[in-house]
Amino acid sequence: MNYVAENLGLPCNPDSITLQCTNKFEMRKKMKEHNVKTPLFIKVTNDSSTWKTENMKFPVIVKPTDRSGSRGITKVENAQELEKAVQYATKDSFEKMAIIEEYIEGNEYSCECISYNGEHHFLAFTKKFTTEAPHFIETGHCEPAADIKEEYKEEIKQNIFKALTALGIQNGASHTEFKVNEKGKFGIIEIGARMGGDCIGSDLVQISTGYDYVKMVIDVAVGKAPDFTKVTNPTKATIKFIFTEKDLEEMENFKKENPKKIYRISELDRENIGKTVDSSTRVGYYITTE
């Protein structure tokens, strides 16, 4: 997309930054170069004789260098589990490479932003729910993330803006996944130079903030400053993903008891009930509002 926009003379991020915004290893390298707090990390193949993990503390996270959607991710507690995790990650990798990085403790969130001419604008913090270890498949999201302590928010924002600048993100949406613990210790997991998936960018941001995020992205793409006029009244927004028959039952009960709070229910792929292995194989979802 950057390549096409750049060659058409449209506002965009330089095509030269595409790799560091899509490859997790290159992203970590660039953030480290710009003194953005980064866990220890290495890139590996299946050849364990080349791994240099002596200085890394377990647990670690192993994931493909170049995939998304919770594919190929494993939390590893000790060196004996590494080989299986790396094989799992490289199998899903386009370039057949994995990244091993020290595990970041804390609750998981994401930060949704819009950038214009190199200036970054905060939109929302999203609370993220997952299946937890070992594979961390996302089970839901909630905006706004009400449990981040107020005294930590500004520092988190500034660290994320610093990381966006380090990656060369100048125009358009961004989705930064991060963790923060009760004491405010903060760490970035990864950044996408795009709107958050799982209906975060398309729906949850507007519901929870009132801002037309999709219009902002379009405006920036044609050289206009993002418009921060509220087009709807903000309210709490939650998306829940369906994995099992129990999840389906919970959705049906919620719909029956709170029909006015249902914002949308997706089509359901019932053949995947009980078979979810990553984000692409979830059965469906429903979005609720307050």
Task: For 137-159, write each residue's pLDDT tens digit.
Answer: 999 999 999 999 999 999 999 99
3-to-25, 30, 102, 118, 173 alpha-carbon distances in Å: 21, 20, 33, 18, 17
Is residue 100 a contact partner of residue 120, using CB atoms and an 8 Å limit?
Answer: no
* Other Cβ atoms closer than 10 A to 161: 20
Quick check: bond before 144 cis, omega within 30? yes
CA atoms within 13 A on the CB side of 91: 10
Averaged pLDDT, 59-86 = 93
Closest CA relative to residue 179, chosen from 231, 134, 127, 143: 127
pLDDT of 5 reads: 84
For helices 150-166 and 24-33, the axis angle rounded to 10 degrees is 100
209 φ/ψ angles, rounded to the nearest 5 degrees: -115, -25
Residue 207 has pLDDT above 90, yes or no: yes
Token pair 């997952």 is at which residue?
130
Report the distance separating Cα 30 and Cα 268, nearest Å. 40
Q: Could you tell me which residues come within 8 angstroms of residue 200 by beta carbon, excluding any fewer than 6 positions away?
A: 110, 112, 126, 141, 143, 175, 239
Token pair 């949704």 is at which residue?
112
Q: Which two tokens stand for residue 181?
A: 């613990």
Is residue 172 a contact partner of residue 193, using CB atoms and an 8 Å limit?
Answer: yes
* Other Cβ atoms closer than 10 A to 64: 25
Report the distance separating Cα 131 and Cα 135, nearest Å. 7
Looking at per-residue pLDDT, the higher value among 246 and 184 belongs to 246
pLDDT of 286 reads: 98
Question: For 105-126, what is each residue's pLDDT tens digit?
Answer: 999 999 999 999 999 999 999 9
Averaged pLDDT, 193-205 = 97
Residue 169 has pLDDT above 90, yes or no: yes
- Helix or strand (DSSP H, E) at 237: strand 237-242
Instruction: Please state the pTM of the whole predicted model.
Output: 0.94
pLDDT of 55 reads: 86
* Other Cβ atoms closer than 10 A to 107: 15
Q: What percent of the chain has pLDDT over 70?
A: 100
Question: For 46-61, what is each residue's pLDDT tens digit?
Answer: 888 888 888 899 999 9
Question: For 228-250, what is each residue's pLDDT tens digit?
Answer: 999 999 999 999 999 999 999 99
Report the distance separating Cα 119 and Cα 216, nearest Å. 14
Quick check: bond before 259 cis, omega within 30? no
pLDDT band at 225 (very low <50, low <70, confident <90, very high): very high
Looking at per-residue pLDDT, the higher value among 283 and 132 belongs to 283
Report the distance separating Cα 17 and Cα 193, nearest Å. 10
Averaged pLDDT, 64-78 = 92
Question: For 16-26, what is each residue's pLDDT tens digit?
Answer: 999 999 999 99
- Look over the chain and give the mean of its residue pLDDT values, rounded to a whole number: 95
Q: Could you tell me which residues come within 8 angstroms of residue 225 by beta carbon, excluding any fewer than 6 positions away?
A: 116, 219
Q: Which two tokens stand for residue 247?
A: 């999840």
